[in-house]
Each structure stands twice: as C-alpha cells, then as structure tokens.
Structure 1
C-alpha cells in the first residue's frame, strides 16, 4: 500500500521515535506567552511549563481578568476548530464553564481520570450523579446533570448549563474517555477510534456549533493526540488524494496554536497507529471504487456523495466510519480496528 502515512511511519520506526520527536521539537514554533506569566495569572495554570500562546489564547469575555489556560486551534482545510485546555483547577471550574458558554461550545471531551497514579490530574467540574447540580457563583453559572450513559470505555454525560444572570440554558455533552492507561498510551487504538466516532456523530463538531473543548491534565498530550487523529482521518476522507496527508505537517500546524501538542514519542506513535487503522476502511472502499465503471462517477468513485454540515458523507462502503445516528439526549505518556457500538445506528449523520 503506497500510503504516505504508512511510509512516514516506517521511516520513523527505522529512525527511532525519540529522534523524530526531538526533531519536531526543534522546528516547532516558539511563540510568546507573556499573559500566562503575569503574576495575577500564574495561579490559573496547572503546570508552570504549559502556557497558551498569546496570539491563540482564549479570552474570557466577562469579568476583570480574561485569562484562562486554553488555546483555540484552527485547521482551515479540515474546517475544524478545537479549544485545547488544561484540566480545571478548583479555582478555575467557573472560568471553564464561562468559556464553554461564551464560545458557544456544544461538547467537552475529557481524556483523563480525576486521579491517576495517586495524583490529582483534574478537579471534578461536573455534578456527581448523587448531587445532580453544581453552581459556580464566581462566574454566574449553574450546571445540572441530566443523564449519564456509561459505556465500556467512556461515559457520556448530558448536562444543562445555565447562565444564572439571564436564566438562559443550553445543552452540553460531556464525553469522558476512561480507557487511557496510567502508563503510556493504549496498546491498540480500537476504543479510542470508537470514542472519536461517538464525538463526531453527536453533532458537536458541526460548523454551526462553537469549537469542541478538549482537555486532559495539561491539555497538550492526549488532547493533541485526539485532535491530530480526528483531523488527519477527516483530511483523508475529504481530499482527492488521501495519500497526500502528512501527519507531521498537520501536527506542526497545530503546534502553531498550542505548545508541545502530543507530549511524548509514545503518544505520537500511538497517533500514527490510530490513523493507519482508522483509514483502512476508507482506502479499501477507494480501491473498490477504482474500477472503470465506478471511476466515471466522481474522483472518489462515490455513488451518492452528500454534505452534512459541510462534511462529506462517505458512501456505503466505508463501513467502520460510516454515518451514525446522533446521540439524542501532565499527561503520561496494535490491533486491527473494528468499530462496534452497543446501540446500532438508525440513520446516517456523518460529521
């Protein structure tokens, strides 16, 4: 298979991932982050060495201090916008939900557990199931747990976020991936790819919604892996030539918006493995479509291309990444991918 990503992967395997990772660090942008180091903002950072760049930091709109450790990452070709942020501190939970409200975000992705290896990685910023409600009086927001759906490798929470000053309320979906091990990345990408698909089919990445909020503990390691895998798989679906996608270039573009995205060589290798597994159904379908009859239909051989919220709907052959029914209601650091869900989809809705 003459696949650019596979060629990249094999070349790096021969070179060693640690060497390749160091080369990436050397050429990654080193942009200013003066606001993060201001005395009044230091207490809002979970880690001293992880700061948002000044040019891409998210600014809080209400209140006397607009600082939050969060970065807006924009990938224009993929038409993707993500907000990557740290796991909230006890003093910044209200700021976190203020940001979600002001940015009109519909979804929050959490890639860590509250406690890992005996250390607190994130404050619980949503209501526990026995309480159902939390109020953040410092920023004027109230959060209510409407529904919690626990799956094998993730928990999907439906929340109501209310602005107590205006009494306006919005629905927010919280996607909590619980299968990332304490040591290193997952052994295989199956559950991670399934989790990305859960997020996609919810509608949270639709262009008519605000940016998807993604966090782990520092907001650079696992968060970077999530955005890199999602973006590369999307580009491989929408480009005329899926072989032209270069993971290295996509990561370097993302690092222009938030420092050190994808934090370790092991995480980067896992991202490549996940992309290679996730793209297999697309390439198998593409190969089928290259017959003389199918080539006459369109550049990808798709029999019935559609667009949903600005994204291509793959044709029926893309089984593992086929459209799904929308669901209604400091980071630590390969098996074939088969997507399965406990609830089979009813109708197409690729995002």
Structure 2
C-alpha cells in the first residue's frame, strides 16, 4: 500500500485537542503559548468522503485549518474494506508541543536518527528505531519484527502502542530529505499496511526535525542517560585502551543499536588483536630467502615481521568494522548490504555471519532464494570459490542445490562434525535422498598421512532423470580446530594440492568450515596467492594482505583471527621451501 507524501499540502498550525489544556488554567492565554490558541473547529467531512484520494491532502486547505480528533468519527474496521492509505504529512514543531503537553489521544513518537544522536538528546517519550532501510523496504520485515529488534522492554512496549495510536510522529535530525528511501517513509508504509484502523490513523514527519524542535522546546527534550538495556554503547569497554600495536582505538562512537553486539569487532577489538605471533619457520636457508619476493622477505627475514603482521591485521579488522557499521546504519545507503541475511536469520548457523547481498549465492528455485553462501575471488586471481557455512539440517537441500546449480565438482570441508562438545557442522552426506537430490557414496579413502578423508559421491536430480549423473569429490580436513591453525603449514599445502588435483574445470570450488569465514578464508587466501605467484611480476605488493582485503569485500571475516592471518604467510613461505627441496 502506497504512502502519499504531501509536500504541497499546508502544515497545520494548531489543533483542537478535544479537551481543555489543564496545565494552563491558572494563567491567562498568551500568544506565545500554543496551548492557549483558540479557533473554531472544522466540521469533519461526511463519512462517504473519508476515502481520500492518495494524491489529495487529507484536510482541505482553509484560512485556519484545525485538526479535531474528537469530531472525526471512526468507523469500525471491516476486513472486507481496504484501509485508507496513510499519508505522511508535515507537522510544525509548535503543534508537536501542543500534542505533547495537551493531547489526550494516543500518540507515538519515533526517532530514526543515529543511535549516538538519540543517546545524547531526544524528544521526551520518543522511541528509537534503528533498522537498515534495506530491511524496512521488505514487506516481510513487519512491524512485529521491528518491535522484536528493540532491545529495551519499555521502548518495545511504547512501540507496540501503534496498534491503538491515533497519531504517529516521525523525525530525524532535520527531516530535509523525505524520499522513498527515508526510514520514516518506509515505516509509514508499514503502518498503512498493518494498521487495523488506518482510516483514523495520521502519520506525520516533523518539519525541521529534531534540530528545529529542540532549539525552541528545550523543556521537552530528554537528555538523561538512557538505560543499559537501551544503549548498545553502554557496554563496559575501555574508551582508549593502549594496544600492543602501539596504537589506540578511537573513542567509542556509540554504535548503532540493536545490532551492536552482532558486529564482532565492536567487542573483540577492545583490546586489539593480541600480541604479535612469531612465524613458524624451519630450514629457511639463504637460498630460500633470496627466492622470496621482497614483500615476503620483509615479513620472514625481519625481526619486526610479526609486529607488521599484527598491525596489518588490525587494519583489516578496523576496515571491516567500519563497513559493517555502515551496512547496519539505517541512515546510510551503502553497497555492502546484508539485509537478506538479517531477514532470513533462521537459515544462519551464527547470528553475526551474514553474506553480503552483492556477492551472495542465490538459489535457482521458486520462492526463497536465500542461502548463507558467497561468491569469492581476488581481483587478480584465477581461482573462484563459494564460501559457505557448515550446513544445518534445514539447509541440506539448499547446500546440494548450490552444488548442482553452480556445477561444483570439489567440496572442501575444513571442520569436523563436533569440536569440544559442540556441533560445528551437521552430516549432510549420509542420507541418500535430500529433497530432489540423490547422493550416493562411491568411495572413501584416507590420504595425506591420515589428515584428509577423500570421499567421492554421485549426484543426481530427480527432476532431470535423463541428465548425466555427476561425480563430486569431497575432501574433509580433520586437523584444523576452530579459530586455530593446523599443526604444520605443510599439511594445509597437502590439502590444497589434493583439491587442485580434483578440480579439473573452471567451476568454483565450494569451501566451508563451521561459519564459512575463518578457516575458509585462510584456505582460499593461500590457494589464491600460490596461484598468483606463478604469474605475478610485482615484487613489492603484499599479495596476502591484498587478497584478504578483497575476500573480505565478498564475505565477512574471511581469515578471522591474527593466528590464521599469520598461517597464510607461513604456508606460502613453506611452499617456497618445498619448491627448493
């Protein structure tokens, strides 16, 4: 249902509020006091005229327009009748003052500014809404889901009063850009769609926004600290801790509520990325050192190498933190949207790992096309990957649909089913039939000194009985703990070698661990860099750092820890050692 924005309609100068304003009874009316204004009540339109055209003002302009709640009859809601579209109308700051001080009608005020601005000051009784505009545009992201995203129970209760509210006022900093993408307009559309009595509901935006209103109504501005349950920034994090990296984290800038804790770096970077980690290097002879490109020499042959890696990884983390804060900021439209992952959270294994919309894999089927998987590759790399989470029982069929749709021939699994008593990935290959896919085990072998289980499956689709049965190689690496690294970099090189032998086409290799980012990112990085080194003529550019930064633009947290980042350098240096031998 559309919302009409009446830019040409007059903003109403005052209201008849269906009752006397008691807090001014002890003093005479004053021209400066909006509650003392007197005006005749405009007669409400006849019932037949209440279905107003979406392109015409709700109130006909007159010499002294008056808004009377009491005089406007409210018909009972009938499911058989389509509700009248809710119009987004301008409201003068003086009139909001009247409503706040004198109105006896249900009133809901919504603040759609940045959470940091809301923390500093807000209109009394306003409820803060901070939901990405990309989510608000989705019809499936209902008012009930918006309510669930409000962490404070008191604020949530106020918001649910929209069910009985007659007036809703929405504001941002200055309400200067009321376009289709403005969060307030998206909210108004939802009120139009979901309100049981949209004929009686009026939705306004505040002319001049908070800036104008607060400049003349300081007595109605709340500057008290908000409760810890409302403020994501109230977490007890040190404001300027000193890091091992000899640099400081900027003062906390009041992150956006309610997704603050879903951004991993918001809490993990409070104490930096940890102490520098020495590289595990063996048999690094002078001849091997001379064969290394200059960018790798600066890490492997310098005492300050570990410190440089820690500083580089800290920069990677800060870059992603800023990117996610923008993606979750309802007032910023950026290319790194994660709205699909947020909206379909029941398909995610973890609540802080989502695919970016621009790189996510879309299932080729009718209905829901979402799966937590991302297309990944470095700009100068030839290898292509699909990075995904360990499948859940509810997503087994989706997983095999990716394999079928994208013509995947090699699956690399970097986790065991269970680690430290926790399920990291469910077994998605033991059931012979999963939806329309039939998977049969052809063979199982143990290779690479017992660290890799090599399975071969036949894959067929029941809807395409005459299509050739495909053979898929499944390599499960069993010696890589979550957030950790393999016992030796050489074993990771053995896995990459097996995967490249099995991959005989240009189709993407499907790689997953548990979340599909940390171990998955390290595998993709090392495999990509080794391929790039065969053709690269740039001796100065750090290919590992470049690749990780580019992979993180495709999927969140690719190479998730400093230890995994160091592993990437160890594995590439180990490849030079192997070549020399």
TM-score, normalised to structure 1's length? 0.73
Alignment match of 1:198 (pick from 473, 498, 506)? 498
- Counterpart residue number, 1:171: 471
The higher-RCO structure (CA 8 Å, 6+ apart) is 1
Partner in structure 2 of residue 300 of structure 1: none
Give yes or no for contact 1:225–1:271 (8 Å, CA) kept in 2: yes
The within-5 A match list for 1:231-250 is 231-241=528-538, 244-250=541-547
Unpaired runs of 5+ in structure 1?
Answer: 128-132, 285-318, 320-351
Corresponding residue for residue 410 of structure 2: 107
Within 5 A, what are the aligned runs for 1:59-138?
59-127=362-430, 134-137=432-435
Do structure 1's residue 7 and structure 2's residue 298 form an aligned pair? yes
C-alpha displacement of 1:255: 0.9
Contact 1:233 1:279 in 2 (8 A): no
Judging changes above 3 Å, is the alpha-carbon distance between structure 1 residues 182 and 160 closer, same or farther for their aligned structure 2 residues?
A: same
Partner residue in 2 for 1:289:
none
Q: Quote the Cα distance in structure 1 between the aligned partners of 2:366 and 2:338.
A: 21
Instruction: State the 1:190 CA deviation.
Output: 1.3
Question: In 2, are the aligned partners of 1:153 and 1:177 still within 8 Å (CA)?
Answer: yes
8 A Cα contact 2:454 2:474, kept in partner: yes
What corresponds to 1:26 in structure 2? 318
Give the Cα–Cα distance (whole angstroms) in 2 for the partners of residues 3 and 16 of structure 1: 15
Cα gap change, 1:182 to 1:219, in 2 (>3 Å): closer
Instruction: Return the alpha-carbon distance in structure 2 between the equivalents of residues 182 and 235 of structure 1.
Output: 27
Match among 182, 187, 190 for residue 487 of structure 2: 187
| Equivalent pair of 1:112/1:177 in contact (CA under 8 Å) | yes
- Residue 143 (structure 1) aligned with residue 443 (structure 2): no
Judge conservation of contact 1:235–1:245 (CA < 8 Å) in 2. Answer: no
What residue in structure 1 maps to residue 575 of structure 2?
278
Between the aligned partners of 2:442 and 2:421, the Cα distance in structure 1 is 30
Q: Give SS of 2:456's match.
A: strand
Residue 220 of structure 1: aligned partner: 517
SS at match of 2:442: strand
Q: Is the 8 A contact 2:483 2:518 kept in 1?
A: no
**Which structure has the bigger radius of gyration?**
2
After TM superposition, the runs of 4+ consecutive aligned structure 1 residues lying more than 6 A away are none
Q: What corresponds to 1:324 in structure 2?
A: none
Separation of aligned partners in 1, 2:483 and 2:536: 35
Offset, 1:187: 3.2
**Where does residue 332 of structure 1 map in the other structure?**
none
Q: Going by fraction, where is strand more abundant, 1 or 2?
A: 1
> Counterpart in 2 of 1:314?
none
Q: Closer, same or farther in 2 for the Cα pair 1:12/1:33, shift >3 Å?
A: farther
Q: SS of the counterpart of 1:144? A: strand
Task: Please report how far the alpha carbon of residue 79 of structure 1 lies from its aligned counterpart in structure 2 after TM superposition.
Answer: 1.3
Deviations 1:1-30 (A, max 9, x none): 35312314544413462x432221112444
Q: How far is the alpha carbon of 1:97 from its aligned partner?
A: 0.1
Q: Counterpart of 1:67 in 2: which secondary structure?
A: coil
The whole-number CA distance in structure 2 between the counterparts of 1:61 and 1:114 is: 28
Partner of residue 343, structure 1: none
Residue 42, structure 1, aligned to residue 345, structure 2? yes
1:34-63 Cα offsets, whole Å, 9 max, x none, are 01111xx11100000000000000000113
CA contact (8 A) 1:185 1:266 kept: yes
Checking the alignment, whether the CA contact within 8 Å between 2:312 and 2:545 is kept in structure 1 is no
Matched residues in 2 for 1:15 and 1:77: separation?
Answer: 24
How many pairs are equivalent?
Answer: 271
Residues 173-213 of structure 1, C-alpha deviation per residue, up to 9 Å, x if partnerless?
10111111467212321111011000011125x32xx2110
What TM-score comes out, normalization by structure 2 length? 0.45
RMSD of Structure 2 on Structure 1 (CA): 1.9
By how many angstroms is 1:242 displaced?
5.6
Deviation at 1:67, TM superposition (A): 0.1
1:240 deviation in Å?
A: 3.1
Cα pair 2:376 2:387 within 8 Å, conserved: yes
The 1:126/1:271 distance shift into structure 2, 3 A limit, reads same
How many Å apart are 1:74 and its aligned residue?
Answer: 2.4
CA distance in 2, matches of 1:183, 1:37: 24
Are 2:371 and 2:398, in contact at CA under 8 Å, matched by a contact in 1? yes
